[in-house]
Amino acid sequence: MAEITLHTITLDPGEEEIARLAALIDGGERQRAGQFRFERDRRRFIVRRARLREILGERIGAPPARLRFEAGSHGKPRLPGHPCHFSASHSGERMLVAVGSQEVGCDIERIVPDLDWQPIAGRFFTPIEQQALLSAPNGLRSFFRCWTRKEAFVKALGLGLSYPLDSFDVTIGEDARILRGGHGLALFGGWIADGYAFAVACASNVAITRGTGW
Look at residue 147 and tell me if it is in a domain.
Answer: yes
Cα separation of 36 and 68, whole Å? 22
| Three-state SS at 144 | helix
Q: What CATH number does residue 193 fall under?
A: 3.90.470.20
Cα separation of 165 and 130, whole Å? 12
Q: How many domains does the chain have?
A: 1
For 88-127, the pLDDT digits (tens) are 999 999 999 999 999 999 999 999 999 999 999 999 999 9
Rounded to the nearest 10 degrees, what angle do helices 139-157 and 127-134 cross at?
150
Under 8 Å between Cβ of 201 and 152: yes
For residue 136, the tally of other CB atoms under 10 A from its CB is: 16
Look at residue 52 and tell me if it is in a domain.
Answer: no
Look at residue 166 and tell me if it is in a domain.
Answer: yes
The answer, yes or no, to whether residue 133 has pLDDT greater than 90, is: yes
What is this structure's pTM?
0.94
Look at residue 66 and tell me if it is in a domain.
Answer: no
CA 176, 150, 172, 128 torsion-angle sign: negative
Look at residue 198 and tell me if it is in a domain.
Answer: yes
Look at residue 203 and tell me if it is in a domain.
Answer: yes
| Predicted pLDDT at 75 | 80
Q: Which residues contact 104 (CB under 8 A, 6 or more apart)?
A: 4, 85, 86, 87, 98, 156, 200, 201, 202, 206
Cα angle 188, 200, 140; round to 5: 75
Which of 94, 93, 151 is CA-nearest to residue 120?
Answer: 151
Look at residue 117 and tell me if it is in a domain.
Answer: yes
Q: Which residues contact 164 (CB under 8 A, 6 or more apart)?
A: none
Q: Provide the residue range defining the domain that includes 206.
A: 106-210
Cα separation of 45 and 31, whole Å? 11
Cα separation of 170 and 213, whole Å? 27
Look at residue 29 and tell me if it is in a domain.
Answer: no
State the maximum Cα–Cα separation within the chain, in Å, rounded to a whole number.
51
Under 8 Å between Cβ of 87 and 183: no
Average pLDDT over residues 32-39: 95
| Confidence band, pLDDT 50/70/90 cuts, at residue 139 | very high
